[in-house]
Structure 1
Amino acid sequence: MAEGQTVSLHVCVTCRAGEAERDGMAPAGRRLHQQFARALRERGDGDWIELKEVTCLVSCQRGCAAAVSTPGKWSYLLGHLDDSKLNDVLTYLRIYRDSKSGAVLPSRRPASLQDAMLGRFPPLTPPPDGAS
């Protein structure tokens, strides 16, 4: 494990994932964020995954979306997410964290996430001091 590295998971809480807006029903993205929060508490991964809300990742036609980032590493935009992929996303985050550059080859990603990778972005900030 890359010591001291926190992985940020930004979940779009306004994603509707094709659902019609209904009174009293939270958007699909909000519900997914809540499911991630619950899973992190139950699995004990909250010490290295920082779950964040974001209001729009401009991936509305691609279901629920999330972005993954760590200073000094490639960042990724994921789409087509739902609760059936939650555990695979958490597995992916562990592989991402353990990768020096953040690059995770398709052969190392959980099979359910093969269509989830919408884009990647070069490191926008340097790694923190002492991180490799």
Structure 2
Amino acid sequence: MTASQIGETTLFVCTTCRTQLADAASDQPRAGARLLAAIETVPTEQRVGVAVVGVECLSNCNRSCTVAVTAPGKWTYVLGALDPDLHVADVLTFAQLHQRHEAGLPAWRERPEYIRKNTVARVPTLPAQR
């Protein structure tokens, strides 16, 4: 099965995430919103197969910034402790690896090192309906 037959992966980016050093005192947008904006500035051809969607609160506040990577019939990953200035390429690389793998389980060694160390959760696919 080719990547185009597998379908698109969705990258959910929490827009309400703050940095560990509270953004509240700053007049800058929250770190999650900055992460989303940084990802959206990456040229479309470098995001092929990945739909980027901003969402409010992924409930991982202790390890923010947070994203979730998912697709129908595939495992879902929650990634945390992301820096909007440092980890855009790692997040997109992981999302594309997820998209290309039939079950959404990219090989551990192929994942960017920062992603390997900051995977918060891996959630199995829903069982097929009977």
Above 0.5 in TM-score?
yes
| Runs of 4+ with deviation above 3 angstroms | none
Match of 2:67 in 1: 66
Aligned counterpart in structure 1 of residue 103 of structure 2, from 86, 90, 101: 101
Q: CA deviation at 1:124?
A: 2.9
Match of 2:58 in 1: 57
Task: State how many pairs are aligned.
Answer: 124
Aligned counterpart in structure 1 of residue 37 of structure 2, from 25, 34, 39: 34
1:69-91 deviation per Cα after TM superposition (whole angstroms, max 9, x unaligned): 01010011000111312112111
Distance across 2 between alignment mates of 1:68 and 1:112: 15
Q: CA deviation at 1:22?
A: 3.0
For the Cα contact (< 8 Å) 2:13–2:32, is it kept in 1?
Answer: yes
> Which is further off, 48-57 or 70-79?
48-57
How do 1:1-132 residues align onto structure 2 when only pairs under 5 Å count? 1-4=2-5, 5-20=7-22, 21-22=24-25, 24-39=27-42, 42-82=43-83, 83-124=85-126
For the Cα contact (< 8 Å) 1:8–1:68, is it kept in 2?
Answer: yes
1:9-32 deviation per Cα after TM superposition (whole angstroms, max 9, x unaligned): 000000002232035321000000
Sort the Cα spacing of 1:23 and 1:112 in 2 relative to 1 into closer, same or farther, 3 A: closer
Indicate the RMSD between aligned Cα atoms, in angstroms. 1.8
Percent identity between the two aligned chains: 32
Distance across 1 between alignment mates of 2:47 and 2:98: 15
Distance across 1 between alignment mates of 2:58 and 2:20: 15
Q: CA deviation at 1:93?
A: 1.5
For the Cα contact (< 8 Å) 2:50–2:96, is it kept in 1?
Answer: no
Q: Which amino acid aligns with 2:66?
A: A
> Which is further off, 29-38 or 113-122?
113-122
Unpaired segments of 5 or more residues in structure 1? 127-132
For the Cα contact (< 8 Å) 1:6–1:70, is it kept in 2?
Answer: yes
Sort the Cα spacing of 1:91 and 1:46 in 2 relative to 1 into closer, same or farther, 3 A: closer
Q: CA deviation at 1:47?
A: 4.5
